Amino acid sequence: MSESLLSTRSVLVTRALVPEAMRALDGGCAVDLYQGPPEAIPREELLRRAAGKDGLLTLLTERVDAELLDAAGPQLKIVANHAVGFDNVDVPECTSRGVLVTNTPDVLTEATADLAWSLILACVRRVAEGDRFLRSRRPWIWGPSMMLGYDMYGKTLGVAGCGRIGQAVARRATGFGLRVIYHDPVRLSEAVERELNVTWCPFETLLAESDVISVHTPLLPQTRHLFGADAFRQMKPTAVLVNTARGPIVDEPALAEALRAGEIFAAGLDVYEREPQIEEALLDLDNVTLLPHLGSATIETRTAMGLLAVDNLLAGITGKRPRTLVNPDALR
Ligand code: DGY
């Protein structure tokens, strides 16, 4: 593709990426970068600025639907989503219009697994609660029954959804001497199960036998509120639930009630049903650890995600096959 043809292409980038990824866009095309306040680009502005663009580099905060595709126009070639999850994108709608959709898989697997483990340990051993307690400046003294959590070693970890990130979480369980069970509609091969030392089980068994459940399913109609009142009733009262996948997989009011009533011991959340809003009832509970969607938030990982999203975007606007294409049918 000649330089001049490249520079006639224009793209909308809905939020500044890390500097290395922004530099990778230099000279590749005309870039319209939303630089407003840290909140997501307002919908009206998104619709207006998408008009006439060849590519959109979107974040999980933007809804990509028929309305946005109409506003962009028929020359739109690609939506490069800066996330592994793409539940914010109406993929069938993009495919029917021949618009490519890409995501950023693999590069964030290890960072997200690390964060899931940070939440697991924070909940089991009451780490964030301990920090909050000291900051409250209340008097304290070491005591045999003070702020007791549970042993991690030798317990059962349940992985709900055992794709790339679920497997990376399971792999980290070895050092904690854990028994690992998983539920996923797609069963892993025997070789992978053996390598990871994991055992498939029905969802009900996962609920009943896990001391910690870590959620790694994508958000789909069948996983929305997968963890609701009924699921919490089936979990151990000593169990911990950690969600680093997508907020709506957990019914937040039901979770708050289960935590309040002692149906489960604790929860760790990195994602929220109505992100960035947090369910008010959760904010008042000490047995929940809340993080602001930090799963992939490391310098190395966000750089790799940004570079991959830009690479996909530039490929898409110049008629090449992007590296991590979600909808190959759009090419036909
Ligand atoms: C993703 O990529 O889907 C995460 O939620 C953000 O990194």
Q: Which of 58, 84, 88 has the most ligand 1 atoms within 8 A of CB, as the residue to mutate?
A: 84
CATH topology for 3-106+299-326?
Answer: Rossmann fold (3.40.50)
The amino acid sitting at 271 is V
Q: Tell me the pLDDT tens digit for each residue of 174-203.
A: 999 999 999 999 999 999 999 999 999 999
Region 282-295 average pLDDT = 98
Q: Tell me the pLDDT tens digit for each residue of 72-94.
A: 999 999 999 999 999 999 999 99
- The confidence score (pLDDT) of residue 6 equals 53
- The confidence score (pLDDT) of residue 28 equals 81
- The confidence score (pLDDT) of residue 36 equals 87
Binning pLDDT at 50, 70 and 90, where does residue 20 land? very high
Region 118-141 average pLDDT = 98
Residue 83 near ligand 1, beta carbon < 6 Å: yes
Q: What CATH number is given for 109-290 in this structure?
A: 3.40.50.720
Percent of the chain with pLDDT over 70: 98
- The confidence score (pLDDT) of residue 105 equals 98
Atom in ligand 1 nearest the alpha carbon of residue 301: 7
Percent of the chain with pLDDT over 90: 95
* Spacing, Cα 260 to ligand 1 middle (Å): 29
Domains 3-106+299-326 and 109-290 share a fold: yes
For 217, residues 6+ apart whose C-beta sits below 8 A from its C-beta are 160, 161, 184, 223, 226, 245, 249
Binning pLDDT at 50, 70 and 90, where does residue 262 land? very high
User: Residue 221 has which token pair?
Assistant: 């109609």
* Spacing, Cα 137 to ligand 1 middle (Å): 36
- The confidence score (pLDDT) of residue 1 equals 45
Q: How many CB atoms lie within 10 A of CB 307?
A: 18
- Cα 201 to the center of its chain, rounded Å: 24
Question: What does pLDDT average to over the chain?
Answer: 96
Q: Tell me the pLDDT tens digit for each residue of 55-66.
A: 999 999 999 999
- The confidence score (pLDDT) of residue 217 equals 98
The residues carrying an active-site annotation are: 246, 275, 293
Give the residue with greater pLDDT, 310 vs 332.
Answer: 310
Residue 85 near ligand 1, beta carbon < 6 Å: yes
Region 222-239 average pLDDT = 98
- Give the span between the Cα atoms of 96 and 116, in whole angstroms: 36
* Spacing, Cα 296 to ligand 1 middle (Å): 6
* Spacing, Cα 172 to ligand 1 middle (Å): 20
Instruction: Tell me, letter by letter, the H, E, C secondary structure of the chain.
Output: CCHHHHHHCEEEECCCCCHHHHHHHCCCCEEEECCCCCCCCCHHHHHHHHCCCCEEEECCCCCECHHHHHHHCCCCCEEEECCCCCCCECHHHHHHCCCEEECCCCCCHHHHHHHHHHHHHHHHCCHHHHHHHHHCCCCCCCCCCCCCCCCCCCCEEEEECCCHHHHHHHHCCHHHCCEEEEECCCCCCHHHHHHHCEEECCHHHHHHHCCEEEECCCCCCCCCCCECHHHHHHCCCCCEEEECCCHHHECHHHHHHHHHHCCCCEEEECCCCECCECCHHHHCCCCEEECCCCCCCCHHHHHHHHHHHHHHHHHHHCCCCCCCECCHHHHC
Residue 296 near ligand 1, beta carbon < 6 Å: yes
Q: Where are the domains of the chain?
A: 3-106+299-326, 109-290
- pLDDT at residue 2 greater than cutoff 70: no
Q: Which of 106, 294, 296 has the most ligand 1 atoms within 8 A of CB, as the residue to mutate?
A: 296
